[in-house]
Amino acid sequence: MIFSTIPLFGLAPLFGTDGVSNFASAFLVAAPFLYVAFLWGSRRLVGDIFQNDSPAQSPKRLVPWSVGAAFCVFVCGAILFPLLAVNAVSFLPKSWFPDFASVQTVAPPAESAPEDGAPADGAPSTVQTDAERNLATQHPLARLLIRSRSTPWAFETLLLCFFVAVIAAPFAEEFLFRVLLQGTLENYALQAVLPPPGTSRRPFADATTTAEPKNADDAETDDATTTAEPENADDATTTAEPENADDAETDDATQVAVPNVPDVPSATEFRWLDPTTPMERRAFYLRSAFAILVPAFVFGLIHAGAPETPEEARDPETLNRLFRTMLAAGIANVAALIFGLLVLRRSSGATTGDVGFGPEFTYKAGRFFASLRRFALDFYRGVAVFAFIAPVVFGANAGLRALFPNAIVDPFPIFLFALVEGVVYWRVRRYASVVGMHVALNATSFALLCASL
């Protein structure tokens, strides 16, 4: 199992009623109202994602890297780097890591506890067995964090789990699955509405029925005379309507004379308002659905696995292995992100717009802070989107856990979450937005998990 591509998801139970302080009780009472207020305040920001003329929309463009380069980066980031990181960590001295085996961290098995003739199906034994079974189906990171809370290295383990789950995994996984994999598949969808490279795109065939001609000679019709537009340049001072087409591009008065003339679409970019034929649109949407479904399916499939066995749960060395695996996962995530960006930049000349930062993102001193503000806005938009879909995702996870208590059910709710991420990235092409969704999911799960300890 590749821990570097497994996000923390659906791990923590809801807050219990035992041992809850007054502050926590007040927060639990106010939490639903704060949640509703956040949804109400963010409704327009989220709604902009699904409006074609919204400022949140970015022109869709062909990514410059090839399928071979994308495959190489994806395999290295998802498979090769995690394996190398695990092997590299295993060669490090054991004295550098906590020795969980030296302390009693695992309780004795429930079936061996009653020795005085108590019935095997008694209440204490059943509760312990159910708790062990529930923990065995959790993510390895949750098992590590829960079982290490009574050890001297609880704080170090908490910091490591937070870094891997909330920081490293979202940034690396969204780069691999959305920017790289989905961006490569979207090239196939854009081929339905964009011309071959090096050729100009034709105007929309039906635009002539609703738009005025651009030729000045053909524009002298009866409808044009009703607008009192003079042909002579000397008379143009009364209406400020230039006859030259070059001057008309910078004058707002041309919107009166030629109201419905569509802009000539770019040969390499597709804007949501660009006119296309219905057949091209249909092919574009079908191919885009394929580009969204494939990464979401792979993203959910990698979370399938077998629950922890009782022998592994009772082995103190299991925590040592989990700790080293989490450390290797963090290293592999950072390496995958840096390696992927360098390869795409060096091999194909990818720009910040190609990798989802936006064409306006720059490192120049005069505009760097403006770029960071836009990145923060896109990140916040992703957090807001997660707030809208969180009840569905967590509800599906809780329902499946109730139906299948002995199985790992994470792949299906994660697949639903990845589908929404794919749609958001398809609409806005913003890396910060999908990272914000992923960070919000993992941070919420991590907070619930810590509150249940």
3-state DSSP of 334-398: HHHHHHHHHHHHHHHCCCCCCCCCCCCCCCCCCCHHHHHHHHHHHHHHHHHHHHHHHHHHHHHHH
Backbone angles phi, psi at 421, to 5 degrees: -60, -45
Average pLDDT over residues 136-155: 84
Q: How confident is the model at residue 108 (pLDDT cuts 50, 70, 90)?
A: very low
335 touches 76 (CB < 8 A): no
Residue 254 has pLDDT above 50, yes or no: no
Which of 110-114, 324-328, 398-402 is predicted with the least confidence, judged by mean pLDDT? Answer: 110-114
> For residue 361, what are the CA distances in angstroms to 93, 180, 358, 372, 376?
43, 19, 6, 8, 12
The proportion of the chain whose per-residue pLDDT surpasses 90, expressed as a percent, equals 40
Residue 123 has pLDDT above 80, yes or no: no
What is the model's pLDDT at position 287?
95
> For residue 409, what are the CA distances in angstroms to 6, 19, 60, 138, 220?
13, 30, 35, 9, 69
3-state secondary structure of 159: helix
What is the model's pLDDT at position 116?
46
What is the model's pLDDT at position 107?
44
Instruction: Report which of 430, 291, 423 is spatially closest to residue 355, judged by C-alpha positions.
Output: 430
The structure's pTM equals 0.77
Pairing of strands 60-61, 269-270: antiparallel
292 touches 182 (CB < 8 A): yes
Q: At what angle do helices 278-301 and 183-190 cross, to 10 degrees?
A: 160
CA distance linking residue 96 with residue 435, whole number of Å: 32
What is the model's pLDDT at position 225?
43
Burial class (CB in 10 A: 0-12, 13-18, 19+), 172: buried
The proportion of the chain whose per-residue pLDDT surpasses 70, expressed as a percent, equals 71
CA distance linking residue 85 with residue 77, whole number of Å: 11
319 touches 144 (CB < 8 A): yes
Instruction: Report which of 133, 131, 160 is spatially closest to residue 145, judged by C-alpha positions.
Output: 160
State the CB neighbour count (10 A cutoff) for residue 230. 13
Burial class (CB in 10 A: 0-12, 13-18, 19+), 12: buried
Task: Compute the Cα dihedral for 381, 387, 392, 394 and give only its sign.
Answer: positive
Cα 7 vs. chain centroid, distance in angstroms?
Answer: 11
5 touches 445 (CB < 8 A): no
**Amino acid symbol at 333:** N
Q: Comparing 133 with 318, which gets the higher pLDDT?
A: 318
CA distance linking residue 392 with residue 400, whole number of Å: 12
Residue 114 has pLDDT above 50, yes or no: no
Average pLDDT over residues 152-160: 90
CA distance linking residue 438 with residue 373, whole number of Å: 19
> For residue 98, what are the CA distances in angstroms to 140, 156, 218, 357?
17, 9, 82, 39
Q: Which two tokens stand for residue 93?
A: 């001295």
